[in-house]
Amino acid sequence: MAEISLKNIEKRYGEKTRVVKDVSFDVHDKEFLVLVGPSGCGKSTTLRMIAGLEDITSGELYIDGKLVNDLPPKDRDIAMVFQNYALYPHMTVHDNMAFGLKLRSTPKSEINARVRQAAKILGLEDLLKRRPKALSGGQRQRVAVGRAIVRKPKVFLFDEPLSNLDAKLRVQMRTEISRLHNDLEATIVYVTHDQTEAMTMGDRIVILRDGNIEQIDTPLNVYNHPVNKFVAGFIGSPAMNFVEGKVVNQDGTYFVSSDGLFKLILKPNGFPHLNQFLDRKIILGVRPEDIHIGGEESNSGFTANIDVLEPMGNEIFVYFKMNDEQIVARLPSATDAEVGGSLNLIFDRGKLHFFDPESEEVIRE
């Protein structure tokens, strides 16, 4: 049983530098919550405040209903996995994992039992006598996780734990940490800048930018219903395409791109919420997988002149320009396309997003 609650948390350095601004969210018991955002967004600082490694400038932090603002890290009953693992080079794997328990004067027999159990879960049994230097990146990562789980803490904190691993290992460790979360039924707060990690691992995602929370929701809701242009562009790979344009009324309501070359019929079927933007600027967002082959001019189809092709094997990324901005479409690999050629494409009208260019907020239906 472990719940974390952040209420109006702020972190300031001096008077002017506000790294985390008025952040509030709850982490439920046994939840896997991911803090994600570009570098410098305050996600690591937030995590470190939860750990007690940074002072909280203002606001309240509760763990299990207890105010812990001024509680030292050791009394918060949390464990943290660091980006560079922070394994002690002069200790063996066993001693690294046992260190915290030793400090708490746990009986030796229990230390050994817990270390062995953790080693078994993580597949480290044969490596217990080795020093960190003699381990691979993935093994070190596992030891760092092992050091956290032997203590059986209320909360696990992960600070970009996979960013030092190569791509293949990262995918493998991603699933391992998810599996661990299920096995241990632990409350986890996980910081990453990688939206794929956020999407695949989190029960819920907190998206941060410049010390502010942009959106908190489940991965799929964040993906399908981003609240603003930033979230829409940040979550998803390749990123969402944005087309600036205007809503105009010429024998029906249309969205027309700024260069006037692309026209999308909005009425009669749908989009009544865009009426307020008639003759005003608006931003259209469409995900690469929501661009399909086919369609005719009458039906808002358009011709794309292909700039670049990126065959991925199972699919192909097709790059073309609209308003002089790069747009990418994610098409089946069998698509007959070549650089310099053209394709007839159409946006999936059911999956369009519209943003107010001033506030960059999504325009709700």
Partner 1 sequence: MRRNKLLPYFLVSPYLIHFLVFVAFPVGFSLYLTFNTWNIISPMEFVGFGNFIRVSQDGLFFKAIFNTIKFLVVHIPLQIIVALFLAETLNQKIKFRPFFRGAFFLPVVVSGVVVSMLWQQLYGFDTGILNRLMSSVGLPKVGWLTNPDVAMYSIAIMATWKNVGLYVILFLVGLQTVPPQYYEAADLEGASHWQKFRHITLPMINPTIFMVLILSTIGGFSLFIEPYIMTGGGPLNSTLSAVLYIYKQAFTNYHMGYSATLGFFFAFIILMVVFIQKRFVERGDQ
> Would you tell me which residues interact with partner 1 (CB under 8 A)?
51-53, 72-75, 78-80, 82, 84, 86, 88-90, 99-100, 103-104, 147, 151
Least distance from partner 1 to the Cβ atom of residue 214, Å = 28
- Number of Cβ within a 10 Å radius of residue 118: 23
Task: Rank residues 135 and 327 by Cβ distance to partner 1 and give the closer one.
Answer: 135
- Shortest approach of partner 1 to residue 11 CB, angstroms? 16
- The distance of closest approach from Cβ of residue 63 to partner 1 in the complex, given in angstroms and rounded to an integer, is 13
Q: How far is the CB of 192 from partner 1 (least distance, A)?
A: 17
Nearer to partner 1 (CB atom), residue 51 or residue 309: 51
Minimum CB distance to partner 1, residue 76 (Å)? 8
Concatenated DSSP letters for 191-217? EES-HHHHHHH-SEEEEEETTEEEEEE
Sheet holding 32-36, edge to edge: 78-81, 155-159, 187-192, 32-36, 204-209, 212-217
Nearer to partner 1, 86 or 363 (CB): 86
Name which of 151 and 193 has its Cβ closer to partner 1.
Answer: 151
| Percentages (nearest 5) of helix, strand, coil residues in the chain | 30, 35, 35
- What is the radius of gyration, based on Cα positions, of the chain? 25
CB atoms within 10 A of CB 113: 13
Pick between residue 84 and residue 275 the one whose CB is nearest to partner 1.
Answer: 84
Instruction: Return all residues near 279 (Cβ < 8 A) that are at least 6 apart.
Output: 246, 247, 248, 249
Handedness of CA 349, 355, 356, 357 (dihedral sign): negative
Distance, CA of 302 to chain centre: 33
Nearest distance in Å: CB 151, partner 1: 8
Which residue's structure tokens are 């029906």?
252
Q: How far is the CB of 153 from partner 1 (least distance, A)?
A: 9
- Nearest CB to partner 1, comparing residues 38 and 73: 73
Determine how many CB atoms are found less than 10 A away from the CB of residue 300.
17
Using the minimum distance from each CB to partner 1, give the nearer residue, 27 or 78: 78
Distance in angstroms (rounded) separating the CA atoms of residues 105 and 271: 66
Give the shortest CB-177-to-partner 1 separation in angstroms. Answer: 18
Which residues, 6 or more positions from 56, have their beta carbon under 8 angstroms from its beta carbon?
9, 10, 11, 49, 69
C-beta of 186 vs 282, nearer to partner 1: 186
